[in-house]
Amino acid sequence: MRSGRRTFPVHRHAIPQILVDATLVAVAYLLAFELRFDSGTPIRYQHLFHATLPWVVGGTLVVLAATGVYRRETRFTGRRDYEALARGVVVATVLTMGAVVLIHPVEITSANGTRAAVGMPAGVMVLFLLLALVALVASRVAVHLFFERKVRGFRSGRGYQDVLIIGGGDGGRLVVREMARNPDLRMRPIGFVDDDPRKRGQKDEYGLRVLGGTDELARILDETEPDEVVIAIPSAPGDLRAKVVSSCRERAIPVRTLPTVFELLQRGDGLVRQVREVRVEDVLGREPIRMELERVGAYLAGKTVMVTGAGGSVGSELCRQIARVAPTALILVDHAEDNLFEILRELEGERHVQGAVPVLADCREEERMREVMAEHRPSIVFHAAAYKHVGMMERNPIEAVRNNALATRLVAKICGEMGVSTFVLVSTDKAVNPATVMGASKALAEWAVEAAAHKYPQTSFASVRFGNVLGSSGSVVPIFRRQIAAGGPVTVTDPRMTRFFMTIPEAVQLVIRAGSLDDRSGAVYVLDMGEPVKIIDLAEAMIRLSGLEPGKDIALEVVGRRPGEKLHEELFNAEERPIPTAAEKILRADRPPLEPGWVESTFEEINLLALEGDAAALASRVSDLAAAAARSNA
C-alpha cells in the first residue's frame, strides 16, 4: 500500500455512487426475502424486513466507507477496490445478523400469550450477501466499462502499467500516440494533468481527458493510483518538476520526463548534426540479451549487498538493477565523491530507493575496508572498482596494479575472513592473453579470486569476464558520437580491428546471474556474445544512423594502433575450454587450477615492486607473469 494516501474515507464525487449503492442494497435485501419464501413472505418476516431495512442500508454504506470503497471515483475502481467491496459486504451481513440477535427488533405473541423474538433466517442473509455483492460489483463494472469504451486503442490487464501524463499539450499527445502505436510498451494512459483552464473537460482523440491542474495533483494521484507518472512538458520549470516529484515520492510512484528539444537535437555549425541519438542496440549486430531480473536476482532480496566502484559505468548500473529486487541494504562504495553523490542522488531522488548507504572508501586501504565490512556486514559483494582505460594505465602501471590487482586481492581476502557468502569480480576480455598493463592487472585479479576460493571455501568466489561495454565512459560509442556531432573526422585505429560488444544492462545482468551460480572454485564466467563487430563497420553504422553518409558528410580517418592494442580480442585463453552452465548464454572458462602457493608468491613479488615505486620494472614483470600463467598451470 502506497504511503501518503488521505484518510477521509469518502471522495467528493462518490455521492452518486453512494445513492446507487443504497438503492442496490435495499433491492438486494428485498429480493433476499422474496426468493427465500417462494409462496410469499410471512407477516412476521415482513415486519422484520421493514424494521431492519434502514439498519441494513445505512450499516452497509458505513462499513463500505470504512473499508475505503468510496475513496475515489468509481471509474477508477481497481482490484483492491473490489476486494474492499467484498470485505465490506461480508462484514455488513455478519453485523446485521448480530444486531437482530442482540436487539430483537420484532417480537410475536403466541396463542398462549408468550412473546418470542423473530430471528433472521440464515437463507435470507446468504441470499442478501450474494445479491448485494453481485449488484455492487456489477454497477462498478458497468461504469468502468463505460469509460473503458471511451478510451480507445488501449488494452488493460495484468502486466499493463497505468500512466498519468503531466501536460495535455503536444508533448502529452505525442506520448499517448506512442503508447497506442506500441502495445509492447504495455502502458495505458489514464488521463492528463494540465494547468490550462481551457483544456479542462476536453478529450483527446483517444477519449482521455484532463483530470485537473497541478495544484490538484495530490488528489488526482490518490484517486487514480497510477503505476507511473510521465512529465510531458519538455520546457517545464524546475518548481513544477519539483512539485510533481515530491508528490509522487510520497506515494512511491516512479516519475519520468520527456527530454528537452536541446537534449534531442545536437547542433553543430548551426545545423542539426544528429536528429536521432544512436541507441546501443542499433550497433550490436545482434539482439540484446535480456534476463528476468526479478527471477535471476531473487537471491539478493532481503540481503545486505555491497557494490565497490558504485559510481562507475558498470557499478552504477549494478546498483540500479540490484535496487529493483529489494535488498535490505545496498552499500555503495567508491573513492570518488562526485560519482558516489550522483548515483546516490539518482537512487534516492529519482528511483525512490530505500536503504542505499553511501561509503567513501578506497579499496586499496585495508584498515578502511575492514571498518566498512565490519560495520555493514554484507552478504554479497560485487567488486566493480577498477581502472579501465588502457592508454592511461600504460602510463601509470603502478596505480593500475595497485587498484586492479592488489586491491582485488585485499577485498577478496577480507570477504573470505568475514564470511561473506558471495564475492563476484567484474573482469574483462583484456585479461585474456594480456598485451597491456591494464589487461595483465585484471588477469592478476582473476588469479587472486581463484586463490581466495581455495583459501576460503565457505565463500562463493567468481569472476565475470565480458567484452567492450557500449556507452560506458571511454568506450568508442560516446567517442564516435562526439566526433560525429563535431562534424568529423571519425578516427579508427585499424580497418581490420574487431571487438566483442555488449550493453551495460547486459553486462550487469551477467554479473548478477553469475553471483547465483554458487561455484566454489573461483570460476570465470563469460557471456556468449555472438560474433565480434568490426570497429570500422560500427563507425559507418553510427554515421548513417545520424542521417549522414560516411566518407561524404563525415570523414573516416585511420590513425594506427596504439601500443599493446590487439586487432582481435579473445574471450578465452588457449588453455581454457568454454563449457555451458545452468544459466543460458553464460559459459564457464574451464581451465587447470592455479597453484595457490604460486599465486601467493607472485602477489608478494608484485606488491614489493609496487611499494618500491619502480614503474618500468613493475610493468615488465606483470606482463611476464601474465605470459607465464599458462606454464604455471602445468
> Which residues lie below 8 Å from residue 365, measured CB to CB, with a gap of 6+?
none
In percent, how much of the chain has pLDDT > 90? Answer: 24
Q: What's the one-letter identity of residue 106?
A: V
b/e per residue 141-160 (b: at least 16 CB within 10 A):
eebbeebbeebeebeeeeee
Query: Given a cut of 90, is residue 343 above it in pLDDT?
Result: yes
Domain ranges of the chain: 15-150, 161-261, 283-633
Looking at residues 458-481, what average pLDDT do you find?
A: 81
Cα distance between residue 349 and residue 217, in whole Å = 19
Helices (H), 273-363: 293-296, 313-324, 337-345
Nearest of 257, 347, 245 to residue 305 by alpha carbon: 347
* Cα diameter, the chain: 119
The DSSP letter of residue 583 is S
Per DSSP, the three-state class of 595 is: coil
Looking at residues 354-368, what average pLDDT do you find?
A: 95
Domain 161-261, CATH: 3.40.50.720
- DSSP letter string over 241-268? HHHHHHHHHHTT--EEEPPPHHHH-EEE
User: What are the tens digits of pLDDT across the range 206-218?
Assistant: 678 888 888 888 8
> In this structure, are residues 306 and 333 in contact, taking their beta carbons and an 8 Å threshold?
yes
Superfamily of domain 283-633: NAD(P)-binding Rossmann-like Domain (3.40.50.720)
Q: pLDDT at position 208, please?
A: 80
Q: What element of type H or E holds 556?
A: strand 556-558
Q: pLDDT at position 263, please?
A: 45
Q: pLDDT at position 312, please?
A: 92
Q: Which residue has the cell 553486462?
A: 507
Lowest-confidence region among 230-234, 257-261, 281-285, 357-361: 281-285
User: What are the tens digits of pLDDT across the range 536-554?
Assistant: 988 887 887 666 788 888 8
Q: Is-same-fold flag (161-261; 283-633)?
A: yes
User: What are the tens digits of pLDDT across the range 553-607?
Assistant: 889 999 888 776 778 887 788 788 889 888 877 889 988 888 888 889 889 988 8
> In this structure, are residues 422 and 459 in contact, taking their beta carbons and an 8 Å threshold?
yes
Nearest of 406, 413, 411 to residue 455 by alpha carbon: 413
